[in-house]
Amino acid sequence: MKILKIDHLGIAVNTLEEGNKFWGEILGLKLEGTETVEEQKVTTAFYPVGDSEVELLISTAPDGPIAKFIEKKGTGFQHVSFRVANIEEALAELQEKGVALIDKTPRMGAGGAKIAFLHPKATGGVLVELSERD
């Protein structure tokens, strides 16, 4: 599999206003835009950093995955996303290597990207996302 770069770091926050206080106002990162992914019950807010992004994750519903994450672990680092050249190829290779996958086939994420999550039990506790976009 070919990993091209760290695409983004996903960080769970309670509200955009709250998250923006540190990432936007204090660090001075520029909020490039927000996008709601209804299927995931999440709004993402993108702050480009060089060739990568910080992505704030705000739950849109109390039963969404980000709301549940915050309930269990609190706000903070949630996942790292690697941009790959070919996501289907990467998933096939990982399955061959016996890596537990949350998504065996890619789904649509923010920004029109194809994404898939690896299971944290296979990665030493880190939620890893693969993403491919044109």
Report if residue 132 touches Zn ion, rule: CB under 5 A.
no
Q: What is the DSSP letter of 21?
A: I
Based on CB atoms, which residue is closest to Zn ion, 24 or 57? 57
Interface with Zn ion (CB under 5 A), residue from 10, 19, 24, 64: 10
Which residues within the stretch 73-102 sit at the binding site for Zn ion (CB under 5 A)?
81
Q: How many angstroms separate the CA atoms of 55 and 8, rounded? A: 6
Report if residue 117 touches Zn ion, rule: CB under 5 A.
no
Q: How many angstroms separate the CA atoms of 55 and 57, rounded? A: 6
Report if residue 12 touches Zn ion, rule: CB under 5 A.
no
Report if residue 59 touches Zn ion, rule: CB under 5 A.
no
Q: How many angstroms separate the CA atoms of 133 and 112, rounded? A: 7
Based on CB atoms, which residue is closest to Zn ion, 24 or 66? 66
Helices (runs of H) and strands (runs of E) counted in the chain: 3, 8
Instruction: Please tell me the count of residues contacting Zn ion according to CB under 5 A.
Output: 3
Based on CB atoms, which residue is closest to Zn ion, 47 or 98? 47
Based on CB atoms, which residue is closest to Zn ion, 129 or 132? 129
Report phi then psi at 113, rounded to 5: -80, 150
Q: How many angstroms separate the CA atoms of 16 and 104, rounded? A: 31
Query: In the complex, which residues of this chain contact Zn ion (CB under 5 A)?
Result: 10, 81, 129
